[in-house]
Structure 1
Amino acid sequence: MILVKTETGQQVFKDRSIRLTPRQRSAFILFDGRRSIGDILTACEGMTAQDVDQMIELGLLGPAGQAVASAAAASQPAAVAAPVLLEADALDLASRAAAARELEPASSPAGRSLQQRYKDAYPVATQLTGGLGLRGFRLNLAVEGTSSYEELLALAPKIRASVGPEKAAMLDRALGI
């Protein structure tokens, strides 16, 4: 299947209103309507089909060759929500994603690999630290600089101290602690 960037996706990529992992951002650039999903997954080390599915669900990518009207209609809810994505909306999005993962079979912390835990926890951690504003800028940079579960786990106590135990509970679930 060949995918292209939607107007919403291009806007989100520019204004960063929805947090994408560095791998997702790199892959997003490659979706030009000429390469297949398989080609892009091969070109972007660490990228998975679930990452692509997430970008499709967010309305950032759509099938190539569809009529412009149908693509715009399909991405309309995301186009309306993306520019006004506030901290509360971002946290709500993350909590809905976490709740959906909890409903899946074999989603127990013991059943997930460390890489999967990292993939689950990274967006939650960036949303939490990004919501701190300037006082959490360095912590947000530290989170964005992580590349493994262990590094993110080491930052979890600092995140918990900054955002409070209620918001940090979502991160703890994603990390499996």
Structure 2
Amino acid sequence: MILVKTDAGQRVLKDRSVPLSPRQRTAFILFDGKRSVDEVLAAGMGIAREEIDQMVELGLLGLVAGSKPAAPAPELAKAPEAPAAASNAPVVTAKAAEPAPPSGRSRQQRYKDAYPIATQLTGALGLMGFRLNLQVEGTSSYEDLVALAPKIRAAVGAEKAAALDRALND
């Protein structure tokens, strides 16, 4: 299966509007419409297949037309306005299959909302919060950020961490 950056993916690469972990960003750059998913996974970036699937679900990466999808991805639909930048071939994107929690927001959306808050809180700690900030930047999933939330809360205080708690739990 060969993936390429969609138009939305190209914008995100430039404006960083969707927070990607350093591993995701590095692997994201490698998707040029020529390399297969297996080649990117084997490149030693330390990225997991789930992280790549996450970028596909966000619409940042799409399947190059003519490329065969992975076996467990039967829900592929053509994206009408997302031509492949590298090969001028149509791009196909996957539909999100994750059920939404009771609040209506997916875990990915909660992560997307909470990540900038966590980086802002830990970044404001200065040199004392440097390691904690690196840990936040190393997260790649909702679960990772939830596991780190108690450390952030202890470092910044419950009042400042309230916004992070709302983003993770509401």
TM-score category of the 2 structures, normalised to the smaller one: 0.5 to 0.7
Indicate the structure (1 or 2) with the bigger Cα radius of gyration: 2
2:134 aligned to which of 145, 148, 167? 145
Cα gap change, 1:99 to 1:14, in 2 (>3 Å): closer
Aligned counterparts, 1:32-51, within 5 A = 32-51=32-51
Change (3 A) 1:28 1:160: farther
Q: Which has the higher strand share?
A: 2
1:168 maps to 165
Instruction: Note the C-alpha offset of 1:39.
Output: 1.1
Q: Residues of 2 paired with 1:28 and 1:163: CA distance?
A: 31
- Residues 2, 63 of structure 1: 8 Å contact kept: yes
The answer to whether the 8 Å contact 1:5/1:61 transfers is yes
Contact 1:23 1:44 in 2 (8 A): no
Equivalence for 2:9 = 9
Q: Distance in 2 between matches of 1:60 and 1:23?
A: 15
Could you tell me which amino acid in structure 2 is paired with residue 126 of structure 1?
Answer: Y
Q: How many pairs align?
A: 126
1:25 counterpart residue number: 25
- Take 2:118 and 2:157, find their aligned partners in 1: how far apart are those partners? 7
Does the 8 Å CA contact 1:159/1:168 hold for their aligned counterparts?
no
**Where does the alignment leave 5 or more consecutive residues of structure 1 unmatched?**
76-94, 101-119
Structure 1-normalised TM-score? 0.55
Identity, % of aligned pairs?
36
Task: Tell whether 2:118 aligns with 1:129.
Answer: yes
Could you say if the C-alpha distance between residues 63 and 160 of structure 1 is closer, same or farther in structure 2, counting changes exceeding 3 Å? farther
Counterpart contact for 1:19–1:126, Cα < 8 Å: yes
Corresponding residue number in structure 2 for 1:96: 105
**Whole-angstrom CA distance in 2 between matches of 1:129 and 1:159:** 13
Runs of 4+ aligned structure 1 residues displaced above 6 Å come to: none
User: Structure 2: 5+ residue runs without aligned partners?
Assistant: 67-77, 84-103
Question: Among residues 142, 148, 152, which one is paired with 1:155 in the alignment?
Answer: 152
Shift of 1:20: 0.8
Change in Cα spacing, 1:42 to 1:156, as seen in structure 2 (3 Å) is farther
Q: CA deviation at 1:167?
A: 4.3
Q: Cα offset for 1:37? A: 0.5
- Scaled by the length of structure 2, what TM-score is found? 0.56
Q: Is the 8 A contact 2:9 2:60 kept in 1?
A: yes
> Residue type matched to 1:97 in 2?
S
SS at match of 1:128: helix
Give the 3 Å change call, closer, same or farther, for CA 160–34 of structure 1 in structure 2.
Answer: farther
Alignment of 1:56-67 (within 5 A): 56-65=56-65
